[in-house]
Every structure is written in structure tokens, then in C-alpha cells.
Chain A
Amino acid sequence: MTPKEKMSIPPQAMPEQDALERARNMREVALGYTAEMAKKEASRCLQCANAPCRKGCPVAINIPAFLAAAAEGDFAKAIAIIRETSLLPAVCGRVCPQEKQCQKDCTMGKVFKDVGKAVAIGRVERFCADFERESGAKKNVDVAPPTGKRVAVIGSGPASITVAADVRRAGHDVTMFEAFHKPGGVLVYGIPEFRLPKAIVQNEIDGLKAMGVKIETNFVVGRTRKIKDLMEKDGFDAVFVGTGAGLPKFMNIEGENLVGVFSANEYLTRANLMKAYNTARSDTPFWHGKRVAVLGGGNVAMDASRMALRLGAEKVYLVYRRSEAEMPARIEEVHHAKAEGVEFRTLQNAKRIIGDENGRVAGLECLQYELGAPDASGRRSPVAVPGSEFVLDVDTVVVAVGNASNPLIPATTEGLEINKRGNIVVDPETNATSIKGIYAGGDIVLGAATVILAMGEGRKAAAAINDYLASRGHK
């Protein structure tokens, strides 16, 4: 095919559940490509020699190569290429912000001066991963002979899953510790079923188990057992800390502790992990807000607002102080939220939450904002318009303005260096912490980031752990 022919292939739209129907069910919104669509989309790739897509990928997947294989219909080969560097393609194909990574500098997108017309790398990746899983072609990963070394992986989110797999592959004995009753971290408590089906995460966890990774749930390292004891008394030779950014930030405005105000973490955890949406079976009570305001503009804010619709809210506002162009959320999620009926209130921000005589939410007072000069993040900073106060009639407020680092591990691990934001300080090359044998990665190091960045950190840390253990020789 000539470049011109490739350019004439229309971008393949993602089949989706009908917007109004899906807004009332928990099933996955994006239905996935058919094989034919995946081939067509993959064949749009111009196979650029300089592969700008690859530079945009935090784990540098050989994108042109896997797209070439997919274009031929050889999905097994395509997934094998993806798996050379990525461990969670079914997850990343769904949740990566591709338009800010691999698809951002795609030549095809540049040709059309529209990132939306870049090759849909993520969608093809997702198809290949789903094809592998559904066809039963997923191979068990080869594990090297036992080394006698033991590694504790703390947390079971994307960074930890990656480390567990890569370290186990080298023949080390790996135990993963999870505080909750189900492994998967943010992939199960945070990201909703309609965006990332839990069965896909479970499949990855099952893969780890098949490799021989031991998983200890209901185990809060730092409380049930301190890291020092794991290393000194329980015989772990190395530890990876991937406990994530689990400490919700609030706005610090009046009324934030009223009944009916939730962190997005709580709101989503109740709905996802605790299955509160299943009122017939779940014992976890859920706050059935009829009129919900979600504060924030990231993926979590999109998830929370769309979850509110699915839990029966009649009206959902998304209140964000900048304009839509500055929203950190994936474009696709923004589109989905709008299509499902979430009302976007951009350039508005919460000023205070109004309570009734019972201490319950009775309204949200907001201010109108406008964009001023760019701030440190490079985005134009929002400035309040004096005297522009107005009240949104809501009974529920969900705060989705990010997470700080969870303090549990630093607080219970003497000598572990953290920065002023509470993130664990690591060597950027090896992800080694200030304590020998302890490594860290993912959001606990980066602050709240993305699944694929966590995975990239995990790969680096795992390589360093494998080197470290090899250098210590056989026991």
C-alpha cells in the first residue's frame, strides 16, 4: 500500500454501547474492534522510520512492528511484539491516555492536523490483547530455575504487578501483599467496570499466580508486618514498594466534611470493589445521590460522574475550574461522559458546600472563573471572577482533585527517605530507595500518574532488583 492509499483508509471508530442505555448499566462502554477493523486500522500506519509513536510510549513498545503484524492479521505475532516491553496490554489499551503519548506525534495525525485521526494504536493494542486472552492463546511465561532469593512486592496495582512478573521470571520467589481483600489496586477499586472490566484484571492476576507468584491479601505491610521484619525476620532479600497515591486530596473549603461529601476514592471504592451498586446483594451502604456534583477534570472525575449516573443520579454536574482544553482526562472519557449526560460546568469552581440542619449537603456554592497567564504546569491559570457566586442544587458532592502519597509505609519504615510531598525518593535509574534492598515505583514515587508510567517504573525497578539479587550471589 502506498502512503496515499493508507491515508485514504478512514479511521475506524470504536463500537460503543448506546450512550443513554450504557449510562444506566455497568457493562463496558467501548465494545472493541472486530478483527477486520483492527486490520484496517493497523494498516493505516505509515511505518515511519523514526517511529515518533514509540518515543511517546513510556515503555517504548515497538508500535510500527506490532501494527504491521496486526495489519497482516497475525495478531499472535502482534501481541508477542507488544509483550516484549509491555506487561498489561489489555489494561493499557483501555486506559492509557494515548492522545498524549503514542498517538500524539503520529505522522498520520499530523498529516490531517488532527490527533483524533492518528492511528488508533491503543484500540489495536486492546484488540490484540483481547484476541490473545479470548482465543486462549495466552502463553504462560517461562520462569527461570529457582534462585533461592525472595522478594516482597507491596501493593498489587500496575507497578507491583509488573515487578512481580519480571522478578518472578528471573526465578526469584515472589510474594505480593495487598491491604484489600482483592488484588489489583487502583485497577479494581478505582477504575470502574464500565471502563476496565474486572475480569481483565483478574486474568492478569491469574497469570501471576500461574507463574508461581504468591498473593497475600488482607495484609497491610507497615501494620500487619513492618518492612524491616519482612527483611530481617522473614527472609525477604528485596522489597518493592508500590503502594500508590492513596491519600485523597480535598479542596479545603467550608462544608467539606458534611454528610454527602465523598472523596472520589471512597465513592468509587464503594461502587467498584465493594459492589455497592448491587443493592440486592451488597452490604456496603451507598449514598444514593439524586443530584451530584463532581469536582475535578481528570479521569477519576469522569469515572465518578459516570458512576453517579449508573447509580441512579438524575443530574450530574462536573465542575472544573479551567476550560475543557486543559482537562487532564482522556479525550475519549470526556466524550463518553458528555454523551451519557454529565453536564460540564467548566470555568467554575466550588467555593463552599452548603449544609442543611442535619449536616447534610444542601447545595454547592460556586464561582465563575476565567483563564489568566500560564502557571507552573504550563496551563493557563484559572482566576476567580469576584462576585460571580451562584449555587448548584445538589445533595451529593464528590471531590476528585487528586491524591497525595499514602503515608503508611514511610511512617512505619525508619530511614526511608521521602520528599516534601511525601513521595518516596528513588534513584531515577534503578528506583532504589535510601534503604538497601528496598525499591519503590509507581504513584508512591511519581505522585498520581498513569497505569503505563507505573508499569514503566515497575520494569526499571524489577531489572534493578534482579541485578541486585544476582550481584549478591547464591545463598
Chain B
Amino acid sequence: MWYNIKGMNRILEKKQLSENVYEMVVENPAIAHERKAGQFVILQVDEDFGERIPLTIADADAERGTVTIIFQTVGASTTKLSRFEPGDEIPVFVGPLGKPTDIRKAGHVVCVGGGVGVAPLHPIAQAMKEAGNKVTIVIGARTKELVIMEDEMRRIADELIIVTDDGSYGRKGLVTAPLKELCEKGDVDEVVVIGPPVMMKFAALTTKPFGVKTIASLNTIMIDGTGMCGGCRITVGGETKFVCVDGPEFNAHEVDWEQMLKRSGAFRAEEASAKEHVCRIRG
């Protein structure tokens, strides 16, 4: 019975992938068993005073009962989480939340990941491949050190393209350049894009003229993750949607990206000062 063993949330492995990016393998058999590509968890580093942060699942092992998360330190909570070590337990770790990705055989699927967004893209690319699709993966990062999960992605991809802003690894430039070229070839059936909102916005603009179905996974501010608070709401196709229960994936051509960009910055000042605060105390 899964519920009896769901709650340990012990960190089994921890790896620092780049300066601000960490990977953790967390023991949670219930989530490992139930999760599907595209779903996320919500965690808290402190049950009483911690904030609730949504993180998309990067990988899971149902047999071992583990879930892999990859996160970037942004505010106080992610900074505190980065200080957890193997053996520690994450006080709150709940999920899997959100609707799973619609996985089916579309033909040629291009998966585009930017920065830490490559992590949640991984299970989707994996599932797309398993469904019999030809999978091209585009990884974008500011610089070489920030490229994550290259080996894992290479194992899945029929073709892997890496681009960096500064040209320190792979092609120099933005993910939109190879994405455009792929679309121009005319054999792309679906695009899945996960990354910073601004990147997703431009990826959507790139594919739109080609009429290629494009899915984006949004990582908005959330509290409960079950539809109760509405903090994650966003306009899609002129209608308000809740990312936690209606998403996290939406038609990228219909997302109001300007609004998405503004809403994700709602607490930016508070986050920056909180992170600073934590760093001063603990760092």
C-alpha cells in the first residue's frame, strides 16, 4: 500500500550541476509510482514557515521509489533547499500535480529546453521517444557551465543540438535559430518548449508562422497546487486558466506571454531580499 510508505522524502543523492543548479534524488515511492511526464511536485523546506515551491519532476524510478528534482536557487527557499544533504528529509513533498503531457505518436517532435527547463523536459522527451516519435532535442544555456543533462538527453535524442548565448559550447546564439531551421525543413509535427518565460515566448513566435503545434510548460507562482488559490492563473486564448489544474502545459501560441512575464515577477523584490537575507545568515 503506497500511502504507508509515501512520506519519507529522504534525499538519497545530491549533485551540483552548475553554480546555482542542483539535482536531488528524493525517496517517495507514491509519487515515483504515480507520476507521468509533465507533472510536478510542491515542496517546502520548513513545515511551519516555509513557502511552497512547485518543481517539475526531472526523472523518476518507480522500482527504486525515487523522484529526481533539479532546481536553481532563486529565493530564500531554494537557497535553503540547496543546503540539504543526502540523508536529510524534505519536510513537505507533495504530488504528482498537474495534468500529464499528452504523449502520442505525432511523428517528429522537437523538444526545446532552456537553462534549468531542460530538467522537466527530460521525462517528456523520454516519453515522446517511447511513444515512437523521432525526437530532436535543443538545449539552450547562457554559457557552457549551465548546460545540464546533456548525457541523459543524448541517450534519448535522434539529434541533439546545443546552443549557448556566448558560444562557449555548441552553436552560438539562441534556441530560436535551430528551431526556425528545423521548422523550415517542414517535417516538424510538434514542439515542446520549457524554459524561462521569455525564451518560451520567442520559441512560440518562431514556430507560429509555420503552424506547428507548440506546447509550453509554465512554472508559475503557486501555493496549494490543487486549484484552491488561483495564484497561478494566466490568460490562455483569452480565457483565465489555472496552471496547477488546467496545466502546466498549454498551447504556446495562445499563452499571454507578456502577462506571464509580469506575473512571474510579482514577488521579485521580496525574493531577492529574502535570498540575500538567507545568504548573509547562513552562507
B-binding residues in A (CB < 8 A) = 175, 177, 179-182, 189, 216, 218-220, 223-225, 229-230, 233-235, 246-248, 250, 252, 256-260, 262-263, 265-266, 269-270, 274-275, 278, 281-287, 358-360, 406-408, 411
Task: Please tell me if the beta carbons of A247 and B49 are within 8 angstroms of each other in the complex.
Answer: no
> Inside 8 A of A259's CB, which chain B residues have their CB?
262-263, 265-266
Task: Please tell me if the beta carbons of A250 and B230 are within 8 angstroms of each other in the complex.
Answer: yes
> Inside 8 A of A248's CB, which chain B residues have their CB?
228-230
> Inside 8 A of B52's CB, which chain A residues have their CB?
274, 284
Least CB separation from B222: chain A residue: A266
Write out, one digit per residue, whether chain B residues 27-45 have a CB within 8 A of any chain A CB (1) or not (0): 0001100100000000011
Tell me how many residues of B have a C-beta within 8 Å of chain A: 53
> Inside 8 A of B44's CB, which chain A residues have their CB?
181
Q: How far is B266's CA from A282's CA once the two chains are assembled, in angstroms? A: 17
> Inside 8 A of A285's CB, which chain B residues have their CB?
51, 75, 267, 270-271, 274
Task: Please tell me if the beta carbons of A283 and B51 are within 8 angstroms of each other in the complex.
Answer: yes
Q: How far is B47's CA from A224's CA once the two chains are assembled, in angstroms? A: 19
Task: Please tell me if the beta carbons of A265 and B97 are within 8 angstroms of each other in the complex.
Answer: no
Q: In this assembly, does B224 line the interface, its C-beta being within 8 Å of a C-beta of chain A? A: yes
User: Given that A257-B235, A274-B51, A358-B262 are known contacts, is A283 also in contact with B77, CB under 8 Å in the complex?
Assistant: yes
Task: Please tell me if the beta carbons of A269 and B226 are within 8 angstroms of each other in the complex.
Answer: no
In the assembled complex, the CB of A352 is this many whole angstroms from the nearest CB of chain B, namely 15
Kindly count the residue-residue contacts between A and B in the assembled complex, taking CB atoms under 8 Å apart: 148
> Inside 8 A of B226's CB, which chain A residues have their CB?
179, 220, 223, 246, 406, 408
A-binding residues in B (CB < 8 A) = 1-3, 6-7, 30-31, 34, 44-52, 75-77, 80, 91-97, 223-231, 233-235, 240, 245, 256, 258-259, 262-263, 265-267, 270-271, 274
Task: Please tell me if the beta carbons of B34 and A282 are within 8 angstroms of each other in the complex.
Answer: no
Task: Please tell me if the beta carbons of B229 and A266 are within 8 angstroms of each other in the complex.
Answer: yes
> Inside 8 A of A408's CB, which chain B residues have their CB?
226-227, 245
User: Given that A269-B228, A406-B226 are known contacts, is A235 also in contact with B274, CB under 8 Å in the complex?
Assistant: no
Least CB separation from B99: chain A residue: A411
Given contacts A224-B3, A283-B46, 15 further A-B contacts (CB under 8 A): A216-B7, A218-B92, A220-B226, A223-B226, A250-B240, A263-B229, A263-B230, A265-B228, A265-B230, A266-B223, A269-B229, A270-B223, A274-B52, A278-B49, A282-B49
Least CB separation from A268: chain B residue: B229
Task: Please tell me if the beta carbons of B1 and A233 are within 8 angstroms of each other in the complex.
Answer: yes
Task: Please tell me if the beta carbons of A282 and B51 are within 8 angstroms of each other in the complex.
Answer: yes
